[in-house]
Chain A
C-alpha cells in the first residue's frame, strides 16, 4: 500500500523573538506525517511540542525551513488563506475552552459548518455527526451542563464536522480522569480506523502514548526518537 504524506517538514526552525530574549523552540526538525497516522508527540516541557503543532496547524509560520501541509506551502500563505485551510481541511481539539459556552453542543458543531458557508443543511448535518459519535443526548446541552469528558467528545465532533483529513489535538486528555480519557481515545481511534482520519497529539499523557501507533519524541526542538509500534493498546 502506498502511503500518502500529509505533512512534510524539512529543517523547520522556529525562533520566538521577544523584546529581550530569543527562544529557539524548534532547531531543524524534519518529519513526515502519513495518512492514517495516529501519532503522539511527546517530550519534556519546553521541547517544542506546542510550537510544532501550531506550525502544522497553520496557526503560525516557521522561521526557516519548509513546511508542507496537505500539499500547501504554509510559509507562502496569507493569514486569510491559513484560516481557510484550518476551517476547511483541518480539525482541532484543545486541552480546554474548546466549546463556546453560550452555545449548545449542537450549535457548537453547527457554528463551524456555518463558518464554512454551509447554510440550510447545517442543522441536520450537525445532528448526524453527533448521532454517529453517540452524542445525540448531549445535543441541546450547553458546555456547563456537560462533564469534561463529554465536552471533549463534543469538541471531537466539531473537529471532524468538516471531514478533515488531519486532526490536531493539544493535550486532549490532560483534564480527564482515566475512564473519560479512555472513552475519548477510543473514539478518536475509531475515527482513525473507520474514516481514515489522521490524528496528531501533543501530550504528556502515558494513556495517549499507549494508544498511539507512532510516537515522536522531541528534545530541545529536535527529534530524538521516532518509533512506530507494531502493537498498540487497542489492538491488544
Chain B
C-alpha cells in the first residue's frame, strides 16, 4: 500500500524539525535503555537469589508430612517417602529430588561440644541439589559408608577436629531417652561463609534412622527446571500425592526472601515508572511545541475540512514513529549494557572486601549477574511506544481544538 499523505505529512514534519526529533529520540532511547538495564539487573539478581536459596538446601519446593505445616517438628516423617520420591521424580519439570531427615544433635569431641541440626541425606543426589554439599575443602563427601559425617569448617574449628576424627553424637531419641552414636569425619565443608559453616552436619539417611529410631525421611527437597512453572507443578503434585503429604514452596519456607524479591520488584517498577514519566513529559513538551509552531498550518487544514480525529491520528502517528526509533536507540543503549551486566556482572567481593556471602542461611553468589534475553526487545518497544503515544495525546487533543476560523485571520 502507498503511504498515505497524512503519514507522509507526519513523517516529514518530524524530519523537518530534525534536531528536535533527534533530541526526542535520544531522550526516549536513553530512558528506555536505562530501564532495560535496570530490569535486566534486577531480574538477574532475583533469579540468582532464588537459585542460591533453592540450592542452599531449601529447594524450589519440598514435600513434607501434612502435619509439618502446623508444628514444624523435625521428628515428623513422611508416610512412604520412596513412593513419594518416585512420584516427584516422574514429573518432567522436576530436575532432581532428594530426601532429608533432620535431628537436633550435640556433637562432642574431648571436652568440647557443638549443637547443630544433623541432616540425613542420600549422598548420591544431595550434591546435585545442594551447593553447600559441593563445597568440600578437606577429605571427601559422604559415599554411603555407615557411621560417617561431613561437617562445616566452623564446627571443625570449634571442636578442634580434622578428617578421620571420631565425633561423639548425642540426641534425644524417639522415646525421650538419650541416644548416641560415634561418627567418623570424612570431609569438611567450607562454603566461604563462617555462619553457614557453623550449621552443616550431614550424615547418611540410614544413620539418622538408626540413631533416632524414626524410619524414613522427613522431607523431599526438589529443584525444578523452570521456577516460573512452580505454582503449576506444586498444584498438580499436591493432587497426586493426596492427603498426608503437603507441598511447600520456597516462598512459604523463606517468606523473608520472597518479600525481599517483591520489594525489589516494586522498587524497579517505581524507578522505571519515574524514568518513563520523565521521558513522557519531555516528549509531551516537545510535541506540544511542535503543535504550537504548526498552529496556523493546523488551522488551515481544519478550515479545509480536516477533522480533529484525523489530526489526532497524525500526531499519534508521529508519536509512534518517535517511539519506534526511540525503542531502537533504547535497544542500542540497553542491549550492550544488559549484556555486560549479564556476562561480567557486579563483583561484590571487591566492593565489600568480604568473602562471607551468606544471607539468612543462603549461600549467595559473589558476582551478581543480570538477566539477558529476547524479552528485552518487546520490552523496549512496549516502554518507548507507551511513553510516546501517551505523550502525543495531549498535544494532539490541543491541536484538534485549534479554531479553524483562525486560518482566515491574519496579522496585519
Interface of chain B, main secondary structure:
helix
B72 within 8 A of A: no
Find the residue from B4, B9, B12, B407 having the highest chain A CB count within 10 A: B407
Given contacts A59-B407, A94-B407, A101-B297, contact A83 B305 (CB under 8 A): yes
A150 within 8 A of B: no
Contact B306 A50 (CB under 8 A): no
Bound complex: CA A113 to CA B407 (Å) = 20
B125 within 8 A of A: no
Bound complex: CA A170 to CA B9 (Å) = 25
A15 within 8 A of B: no
Identify which of residues 110-126 in chain A touch chain B, using a CB-to-CB cut-off of 8 Å.
Answer: 110-112, 114-116
Given contacts A53-B408, A59-B408, contact A92 B303 (CB under 8 A): yes
Bound complex: CA A99 to CA B226 (Å) = 60
A54 within 8 A of B: yes
B310 within 8 A of A: yes
Given contacts A53-B408, A59-B404, A111-B5, contact A87 B304 (CB under 8 A): yes
| Chain B interface size range | 20 to 34
Contact A102 B12 (CB under 8 A): yes
A45 within 8 A of B: yes
Identify which of residues 278-326 in chain B touch chain A, using a CB-to-CB cut-off of 8 Å.
Answer: 296-297, 300-307, 310
Residues of A within 8 A of B404 (CB): 59, 83, 86
Residue of B with least CB distance to A114: B5
Given contacts A57-B303, A83-B306, A107-B5, contact A50 B12 (CB under 8 A): no
| Chain A interface size range | 35 or more
B405 within 8 A of A: yes
Identify which of residues 165-190 in chain A touch chain B, using a CB-to-CB cut-off of 8 Å.
Answer: 170-171, 174
Residue of A with least CB distance to B15: A102
Residues of B within 8 A of A103 (CB): 5, 8-9, 12
Residue of A with least CB distance to B408: A170
Given contacts A110-B5, A111-B9, A115-B306, contact A100 B412 (CB under 8 A): no
How far, in Å, is A159 (CB) from chain B's closest CB?
8
A6 within 8 A of B: no
| A-B pairs with beta carbons under 8 Å apart, 22 shown | A54-B405, A54-B408, A80-B307, A83-B302, A86-B404, A87-B306, A88-B305, A94-B408, A94-B410, A96-B410, A97-B300, A101-B16, A103-B8, A107-B5, A107-B8, A110-B5, A111-B5, A114-B5, A114-B6, A115-B305, A115-B310, A174-B410
Given A59-B405, A86-B305, A103-B9, list of 7 further CB < 8 A pairs? Answer: A45-B412, A50-B409, A83-B307, A94-B408, A103-B5, A115-B310, A170-B408
What residues make up the interface of B, taking CB atoms closer than 8 Å to A?
A: 4-6, 8-9, 12-13, 15-16, 296-297, 300-307, 310, 404-405, 407-410, 412
What residues make up the interface of A, taking CB atoms closer than 8 Å to B?
A: 45, 50, 53-54, 57, 59-60, 80, 83-88, 90, 92, 94-98, 100-103, 107, 110-112, 114-116, 158-159, 170-171, 174, 202
